[in-house]
Amino acid sequence: MAKQWVVRQRWGSFSVPYQALLALILITMVMLLVMWVSLCLGDTLIMPRDVLATFLSESSSEFAFVVEVLRLPRLLMAAMVGAALAVSGLVLQSMIRNPLASPDIIGITSGASAAAVTFLSLFAGLGMGWLPVFAIAGALVAALAIYVLAWRNGVTPMRLILVGIGVSAAMGAVTTLLIAVSSTATSITAYIWLTGSVYGSDWHDVRALAPWLLVSMPLALCLARRINAQELGDQLATGLGVSVQQLRLVLLGLSVLLAAPAVAYAGAVGFVGLIAPHIARRLVTRSFGLLMPATAMIGASLVMLADLIGRTLFQPLDIPAGVFVSAIGAPFFIFLLYRQRF
């Protein structure tokens, strides 16, 4: 039996296998390394000691503007977006019990994208501050449509994912139609948003997105035991006292609560919710309480690394992070489809 680190308190108890704890420490170190390198590299090369001095020095450093105003908000935005999309994908995969589930595949991201392009094409005069509102509303409408259409004396995982794929295709058609009839300037803006990018992120965006994660992440952890029971199958979960249909509705809403704000502020960054949970499962145990932090940090690292590549390797161009995430995600998705044949 694997050795466990056991914690017992009045508020609860939990155990963590030492191997999983070591994996979590390793994932944390990799994430921090990616953050550190991202703060150092760019148009202006900053030595690691100078980055540290910028944070520790009370007086203004010569690199303070570059680090604290230009790079750090963008870095934190990429980390939060990656973590939110990754955990949203983990929640969906646990709920549907299908390794191919993710917010961009079953239609949540497509709903946000359709609503965002609708705003850019028809309502841009209201001001860009309304773009996140439209994107979040579109994701909520898409999720509600998926749940209602999949309902038939309850919702089964297979119906949910099939209806989600259909809704995703319909939202994609709406998005394409709106881009086709829009002006060239609007189409270019829409294409950049649909690709997914954290370019131009500032502290206002960070402060706007952070509360969504501060609410949804702890909520996901609170549901960890029910999610673990639900993954055992409907009959066994019901026998353990879990209201399966009610839990599925809550988990679908939680997935939207995680993915919609991230997509609203960074665009439709694809495949993060598909890749990160699979990497996490290879490193830690299948318990949701351990998978969630691992998945969040892996998702954050993926988007931060993609953004770092996009803004440094192709200078003076700034390539959207979504391009590189999709370049990894598309072959990975094909590989998963191939494995599902057997």
Which residues sit opposite 8 in a β-bridge? 13
Annotate 273-302 with DSSP letters as a single string.
HHHHHHHHHHHS-S-HHHHHHHHHHHHHHH
Where do the H-state alpha helices sit in 151-271?
157-181, 184-195, 203-222, 224-230, 234-239, 244-266
3-state secondary structure of 145: helix
pLDDT score, position 1: 46
Q: What is the pLDDT of residue 58?
A: 56
Query: Token pair of 200, please?
Result: 């131009």
- Residue-range domain boundaries for the chain: 83-336
Residue 34: per-residue pLDDT: 93
Residue among 32, 4, 38 nearest 18 (CA): 4
Class level of CATH domain 83-336: mainly alpha
The torsion region of residue 75 among left (phi > 0), alpha (psi -120 to 50) and beta comes to alpha
Q: Which helix (DSSP H) or strand (DSSP E) does residue 339 occupy?
A: helix 321-339
**DSSP H helix total and E strand total for the chain:** 15, 2
| Cα(89)–Cα(272) distance, integer angstroms | 8
- Looking at residue 91, its amino acid is V
Lowest mean pLDDT among 12-26, 162-176, 248-262: 12-26
Report, in angstroms and rounded to the nearest whole number, the Rg of the chain calculated over CA atoms.
21
Whether a cis peptide bond, with omega within 30° of 0, leads into 316 is yes
Q: Give CB contacts under 8 A, 24+ apart, made by 309-316.
A: 310/197, 311/42, 311/199, 312/41, 312/42, 315/43
Q: The tokens of 94 are what?
A: 């646990």
At residue 11, the pLDDT reads 54
Q: In terms of Cα–Cα distance, which of 106, 94, 119 is closest to 164?
A: 106
In contact, 85 and 296? CB cutoff 8 Å? no
Q: Is the pLDDT of residue 9 over 60?
A: no
Residue 292, pLDDT score: 92
pLDDT of 205 strictly over 80: yes
Query: What pLDDT is stored for residue 79 in this prediction?
Result: 95
Residue with tokens 């988007």: 303
**Where is pLDDT greater, at 1 or 157?**
157
Q: Is 41 exposed, middle or buried (0-12, 13-18, 19+ CB in 10 A)?
A: middle
pLDDT over 90 (residue 135):
no
Separation CA 255–CA 258 (nearest Å): 5
pLDDT in tens, 283-293: 887 788 889 99
Q: CA 173, CA 110: separation in Å to the nearest integer?
A: 10
pLDDT at site 15: 65
Residue 13 banded pLDDT, cuts 50, 70, 90: low
Residue type, 110: S
- 200 pLDDT above the threshold of 90: no
Q: Who's near 53: CB < 8 A, 6+ residues apart?
A: 61
